Amino acid sequence: MTLRKRRLPAGWYPVDETRSRAFLRGAAPAPPSRQACAALAPHAGWAYSGAVAALSFASLSPETDTVALIGGHLRSGAPALFFEEDGVETPFGPLMIDGALRDGLASAFAALFPQGIAGDRYPDNTVEVLLPMAAFFFPKARILPLRLPEERASFAAGSALARLGKSLNRTLAVVGSTDLTHYGENYGFTPRGTGAEALRWVREVNDKAFIEAVLAGSPPEILRCALEGRAACSAGAALCAAGFAQAVGAGRGELLAYRTSADAGENADCFVGYAAVAWGKVRSGAAENVTGDGI
């Protein structure tokens, strides 16, 4: 059996089970009714976005037997990437990969992605920072980690995942991993200058437009906001989650939480947006600005 080892340094998420468990218990106590089938979650270090991401996982149905973790950081034209190992290492112990689902999906993707598919051999945070959350909330489930490019085919990939999951009798939950606007000189993106006005614009205009496109499940708007507005770094992951939700009839998404790294004490002139979205029956109520414990 081959296990994919941790590749990110300790600052991204805790290295041990005790601190990981304490963080997740404090960040996202399970809502009274966990019935979502798909979610969108951020992928920064847990000190900044961990509490938001945990809300996404806490919304998912406890009957889930396979969690598909869809990452990104892939431009249009890049191949779809799959983990090739039998399982992955987490602070809670190993998580096994659903090999039958992976193999079937790779075959289905051949028609969707003419650029091909490949093994994911690269260190990347979009999937890895969420692996411990999958292990915590779904200790008996299998996982399917993959990364998809920011193109319309990734929305269709969500439908392919739904069809294959049904044919294999899987109870699937799909989590798309993306951060939102990366704003500031460090990111080469300052269309509204700096200061309070820039932060307001990101929150109330740029990120809001992308979130609305995701909630509505609109591929053209998701891509427009991501590519023209630079409102997401992994639009392929968001497209796949939205495509899966549409294919299973989950209806409109619900915004569970939104915040920026500036809310966690990061430089207010250089910050990133984070959102938790769920599709399906989740707890009701307005979205909250949440804060998480540090690592």
**Is the pLDDT at 32 greater than 80, yes or no?**
no
Q: Can you say how many angstroms the Cα of residue 44 is from the centroid of all Cα atoms in its chain?
A: 10
User: Collapsing DSSP states into helix, strand and coil, what is residue 193?
Assistant: coil
| Span between the terminal Cα atoms of the chain, in Å | 31
Q: Number of C-alpha atoms within 13 angstroms, CB side, residue 31?
A: 19
The reported pLDDT for the residue numbered 284 is 40
- Give the whole-angstrom CA distance, residue 92 versus residue 103: 26
Output 80 or 281, whichever has higher pLDDT: 80
Please tell me the pTM assigned to this model.
Answer: 0.93
- Give the whole-angstrom CA distance, residue 272 versus residue 222: 18
136: enclosing H helix or E strand: helix 131-137
**Is the pLDDT at 286 greater than 50, yes or no?**
no
Q: Which two tokens stand for residue 200?
A: 């307001």
Tell me if 120 sits within 8 A of 31, measured CB to CB: no
- Report the C-alpha dihedral over residues 69, 132, 74, 257, rounded to 10 degrees: 80
Instruction: Name the phi and psi angles at 43, rounded to 5.
Output: -140, 30
Average pLDDT on 69-81 reads: 96
Q: Residue 30: pLDDT band by 50, 70, 90 thresholds?
A: low
Residue entry with tokens 């340094």: 9
**Is the pLDDT at 217 greater than 80, yes or no?**
yes
Q: Residue 263: pLDDT band by 50, 70, 90 thresholds?
A: confident
Amino acid making up residue 124? D
In a domain, 147, yes or no: yes
What CATH number is attached to the domain comprising 121?
3.40.830.10
- Give the whole-angstrom CA distance, residue 210 versus residue 220: 11
Can you give the residue range of the structural domain that contains 103? 32-281
**CA proximity to 134, closest of 94, 189, 100:** 94
30 Cβ contact list (under 8 Å, min separation 6):
58
**CA proximity to 100, closest of 156, 38, 172:** 172
**CA proximity to 182, closest of 289, 274, 69:** 274
The total of structural domains in the chain comes to 1
In a domain, 26, yes or no: no
259: enclosing H helix or E strand: strand 254-260
CB atoms within 10 A of CB 45: 18
